[in-house]
Amino acid sequence: MGLFNFFTQEIAIDLGTANTLIIHNDVVVVNEPSIVALDRNNPKNILAVGKKALMMHEKTHESIRTVRPLKDGVIADFNAAELMIREMIKKIYPKKPLFPPSWRMMICIPSSITEVEKRAVRDSAEQAGAKEVYLLHEPMAAALGIGIDVEEPVGNMIIDIGGGTTGITVIALAGIVCDQSIRIAGDEFTGDIMEALRRYHSLLIGERTAEQIKIQIGAAMKDIDNPPEDMPVNGRDLVTGIPKQIMVSYQEIAEALDKSIFKIEEGILKALETTPPELASDIYRRGLYLTGGGALLRGLDKRLAAKIKLPVHVADDPLKSVVRGTGLALKHYDRYPFVMR
């Protein structure tokens, strides 16, 4: 077995709607946007993946198309997903090794996923060269990554605001007790910002610009500590059709995101309603844990704490907590009962 183990390399993958992260030997080796650029004339020919492909997004001519293989946390374009996983794995070893290793992969999946979608993840990993594929529910991975002991009989509520979905989960005894998944998350926020600028400034902007606005001045409340400065935004004027620039303040963005954040609050309240009373008392003591890219939105923890009247903790590095947890679960994949074979 020793020789076989030498050739088996372990990687943990967080296959997200917006970003894909890979951990190998406890180091995050790949952290790239989940997007590929393909040649229209030859769909198997991959032109760019990750950041390079994102640079091309919405700027392509007719013989190139950019694809985001995942939609709402699940694989929407099977071929593109397989190509993307394969290219991302290639980035681990820039030089081609003499003996290509056989991979043992652990991949995160949303907890609301169907059997068919689960098969799609497994198949695309196997197509990309995995010998063994283990699956893990994202909230479990997030809890491990935050540093919660998931096996003790105490309830913890994890709110994972990703790119495509927001997962609201109560975890106890290494299992998922109740689970709400809403399709409102980072992509929806980006759409809200595009819509708001179109409506109030009659300015047409692209997805990437809206994403940059969200990262630089996005906020969940109109009054936050150390507010960001106004940001210049370029786009096309809908009235004249000429490119123009406007200044956008974080208050406008907070207003644009208000409805979507309200829906997330409703989802959390709904999940709390279905929580068994003993676990609810644990959650009252421990509070809620926010993770995922959406947790970085300024003032979101304050707004949720004010609405739900419970303490809200943001994970240390919310973008990486899921992949860190997946890496931990992969190390002890035979010990944890919640790892799916």
Q: 293 among the known binding-site residues? A: yes
What is the side-by-side strand order in the sheet with 166-172?
A: 175-182, 166-172, 156-161, 288-291, 312-314
**Within 13 Å of residue 139, how many CA atoms lie on the same side as its CB?**
28
Distance CA(252)–CA(255), nearest Å, equals 5
Cα dihedral: 78, 50, 254, 311 (round 10)? 80
Q: 212 among the known binding-site residues? A: yes
Q: 164 among the known binding-site residues? A: yes
> What are 103's strand-pairing partners?
9, 130
Q: 17 among the known binding-site residues? A: yes
- Structure tokens, 44: 């198997």
- Read off the DSSP letter of residue 307: H
Q: 96 among the known binding-site residues? A: no
Residue 123 in 3-state DSSP? helix
Distance CA(157)–CA(267), nearest Å, equals 13
Q: 251 among the known binding-site residues? A: no
Alpha-helical runs (H) found in the chain: 2-7, 51-56, 78-90, 115-127, 138-146, 186-201, 207-217, 250-273, 277-286, 300-308, 321-331
Distances (CA, A) of 102 to 5, 109, 201, 297: 9, 22, 54, 39
Binding-site positions for ATP read 17-19, 163-165, 211-214, 293-296
Binding-site positions read 17-19, 163-165, 211-214, 293-296
